[in-house]
A = this chain, B = another copy of it.
Amino acid sequence: MKIETQETVFIVEPRDYKLTEPLPLECGRVLKDVTIRYETAGTLNADASNAVLVTHALSGDAHVCGRHTPEDPKPGWWDNMIGPGKYVDTNKYFVICSNVIGGCSGTTGPQSIDPDTGKPYNLDFPVITVRDMVRAQKRLVQHLGIKKLLAVLGGSMGGMQVLQWAVSYPEMLKSYIAIATACQFSPQNIAFDWVAREAIKADPNFNNGNYTPDKTPDRGLAAARMLAHITYLSEESLGRKFGRSLQDKQELEKYDYDFDRDFAVESYLQYQGKRFVERFDANSYFYITRSTDYFDLTATTGGDLVKAVNGVQAAGLIVSFSSDWLFPTAQSQRLTNALLKNRKEVTFCEIKSGYGHDAFLLEVETLGRMVRDFISHHAQQEVTND
Contact = CB atoms under 8 A, between A and B. Distances in A.
Given A27-B255, A235-B325, 12 more contacts: A27-B257, A185-B244, A187-B243, A188-B238, A188-B239, A194-B263, A194-B265, A195-B199, A195-B223, A235-B328, A255-B294, A259-B290
Q: Within the oligomer, what is the number of copies of this chain?
A: 2
Interface in A319-375: 325, 328
Most buried by B among A198, A235, A299: A198
A293 interface: yes
A46 interface: no
A79 interface: no
Contacts of A273: 198
B296 A266 contact: no
B269 A195 contact: yes
21 contacts: A26-B257, A187-B238, A187-B241, A187-B242, A188-B238, A191-B230, A192-B230, A194-B266, A195-B199, A195-B223, A195-B226, A195-B230, A195-B269, A199-B223, A202-B219, A202-B220, A252-B298, A252-B299, A253-B296, A255-B294, A325-B325
Given A252-B298, A296-B253, A223 B202 contact: yes
Given A266-B194, A296-B252, A201 B187 contact: no
Interface string A223-246: 100110010010100110111100
Contacts of A204: 204
Contact of A253 (B190, B258, B299): B299
A198 B233 CA distance: 19
Given A227-B195, A296-B252, A190 B239 contact: no
A305 interface: no
B201 A219 contact: yes
Contacts of A238: 186-188, 191
B244 A127 contact: no
A257 B127 contact: yes
Interface in A260-280: 261-263, 265-266, 269, 273
A56 interface: no
Interface in A184-220: 184-188, 190-192, 194-195, 197-199, 201-204, 217, 219-220
A115 interface: no
A311 B209 CA distance: 57
Interface in A98-126: 123, 126
Given A202-B219, A223-B199, A300 B253 contact: yes
A293 B290 CA distance: 32
Interface string A283-306: 000100010011010111011000
A262 B194 CA distance: 10
A293 B258 CA distance: 11
Nearest to A29: B257
Nearest to A295: B244
Nearest to A301: B252
A73 to B, nearest CB: 29
A259 B187 contact: no
Nearest to A303: B252
A192 B252 CA distance: 21
